Structure 1
Amino acid sequence: MVVYTQKETLVQALSSTKKIGKIGFVPTMGALHNGHISLVNKALGENNLVVVSIFVNPTQFNNNSDLQKYPRTPDDDISLLKKLKGEIIVYLPEVSDLYEDAVSAKHYNFGGLENEMEGKHRKGHFDGVGTIVSKLIKIVKPDTAYFGEKDFQQLQIVKKLVSIENLPVNIVGCPILREKNGLAMSSRNKRLTAKQFEEAAIIYRTLNEVRKKFSTTSIADLNTLVAERFLQNPHLKLEYFEIANEKTLKTAKRKTKASKYRAFIAAFAGEVRLIDNMPLN
């Protein structure tokens, strides 16, 4: 496994390896966990070479405190990747290598996907996501890029980005990996206290309850149920719960047989913001 910190040397290395087969790409912000590793393993199984980027992207944070506190464990990340079987290249750049003198995001029109859920609560977030994903894909030039479904809205945004910019890459969404208590694996989980980690299981339990009752309960009643569940737990504060159309991500007021729906939750455990989602039908 080789680690590159500059895009020029990475591009040079990839230009020669491109001749030997397919390249898979797993973009991460580091603090790797088993969810990330599942993406890398899937990529390794489907490609001759896998590039893993580790970069905490400043333009997708609308809260500077959150950016500063985001866990950074590059040495542990590299050690974890070294244990995997297969050809891996790690791209570990500084901000200046990707943004040079202008740390700013390009503005995108994602057809309204960017205005729902996370877009309502994190203004400009998806402009930052689109900017960095575009930059990385143009550097790596992968055949396939892999993203986790925990960030389902982001996955849909990335698919739209590829269409907008006509990027020659296949985007693959991968299932959410969960802790034993059901909490979706996330780098942010490392910031939770033992008590918060335990209490955060309410997110998964609530999503499961919504899924089980979805066919027999109105969306309005499900919204009320979720609000009540979180009011009963003083350790987590619900930021939003929405049942949305899987394709458009628009909030659903009532159900139609022709549509697929997914439930989305964002909640705070102290200062740590957690998100999760689950398909409903």
Structure 2
Amino acid sequence: MKVVHTIKDLQAELADKKNIVLVPTMGNLHDGHLQLMKTAGAHGDTVVASVFVNRLQFGPNEDFDQYPRTLEEDCAKLEAQGVVDIVFAPSEKDMYPEPQVFTVQPDPKLADILEGFYRPGFFTGVATVVMKLFSIVRPNKAAFGKKDYQQLRIIQKMVEQFGMPIEIIPVELQRNQQTGLALSSRNRYLNDKELEEATLLYRTVKGVKEALEAGSSDADALEEKAMETLRQNGWQPDYVAVVRRKDLLAPTKDDLLTREPLVVLAAAKIGTTRLIDNIEVF
């Protein structure tokens, strides 16, 4: 496994490589990321993992400066796994040698709802850095986790809209096998008590899924009940939303009757840490 820090060095390494699969990350890797790498390895000949904390997707009151930078530890995990061929860990100056005034603006109908409503500009930052990574790496495929469900849909749509010859590989959300808690870099911010209580988010979205699959046709009522459950247990929920997988819009009554593929998305804060989770339905 090689670690490179500049675009020039990366492109030199990739000059004769075929069937390249990119896995974009911001580092601070956990087992969920390693599953992304494993899936990437099954879909290509050369796996490139990027490690870059992207300033563009952080809001003014978010944790860009505090976000953990653990490159040495990340590389050790990737080396031990034995799947990744190249780690691309550029500096901010290398990725953004001048202010990034050209940006990718996703469709507001997809990007300004849910996470995009609570984090204005977030998906513009995500789409812009992913577009730039695609331009630099020129992969044949790229792996993205379903943990960030809305992000996955936006990247899929971006690739489709721009006619990019890149296959997007969705990778299932990874959970703690004992508790069901979705694996996340932000989990390290939780103290022991919060870590135990954090499993309520998964149990809440799972409860909505089970009610829908048992025949409930009132998604609004299920959302509000789930939000109230979180509030009563000391959480600050932003949303619990039942939406269609294909476009992240609220389902109609007919969608529920015909069992249109849905997903339950949730975001809530416990203590000072904001967590997201989701679970597919039908």
TM range (shorter): over 0.9
TM-score (norm 2): 0.93
Q: Residue in 2 aligned with 1:242?
A: 241
Contact 1:105 1:127 in 2 (8 A): no
Q: 1:25 and 2:47 equivalent?
A: no
Displacement of 1:64 in angstroms is 4.3
1:109-134 alpha-carbon deviations (Å, 9 max, x no partner)? 42621122111111111110110000
TM-score (norm 1): 0.94
Q: Residue in 2 aligned with 1:13?
A: 13
Q: Residue in 2 aligned with 1:91?
A: 88
Q: Residue in 2 aligned with 1:120?
A: 117
Q: Residue in 2 aligned with 1:268?
A: 269
Contact 1:71 1:188 in 2 (8 A): no
Q: Residue in 2 aligned with 1:229?
A: 229
Contact 1:110 1:160 in 2 (8 A): no
% same residue? 35
Q: Distance in 2 between matches of 1:251 and 1:63?
A: 30
Residue among 41, 46, 49 paired with 1:44: 41
Contact 2:267 2:275 in 1 (8 A): yes
Q: Residue in 2 aligned with 1:251?
A: 250
Residue among 136, 141, 151 paired with 2:138: 141
Amino acid at match of 1:113: L
Q: Distance in 2 between matches of 1:149 and 1:255?
A: 26
Contact 1:219 1:253 in 2 (8 A): no
Q: Residue in 1 aligned with 2:193?
A: 195
Q: Distance in 2 between matches of 1:79 and 1:211?
A: 38
Q: CA RMSD in A?
A: 1.6
Q: Distance in 1 between matches of 2:102 and 2:198?
A: 32
Displacement of 1:221 in angstroms is 2.1
1:200-234 alpha-carbon deviations (Å, 9 max, x no partner)? 10011011111111142211220232023112211
Structure-to-structure mapping, 1:52-91, within 5 angstroms: 52-86=49-83, 88-91=85-88
Q: 1:181 and 2:182 equivalent?
A: no
Q: Distance in 1 between matches of 2:155 and 2:233?
A: 34
Say which SS state the counterpart of residue 64 (structure 2) adopts.
helix
Displacement of 1:103 in angstroms is 4.1
Say which SS state the counterpart of residue 28 (structure 2) adopts.
coil
Amino acid at match of 1:30: G
Displacement of 1:258 in angstroms is 6.0
Say which SS state the counterpart of residue 147 (structure 2) adopts.
helix
Unpaired runs of 5+ residues, structure 2, are none
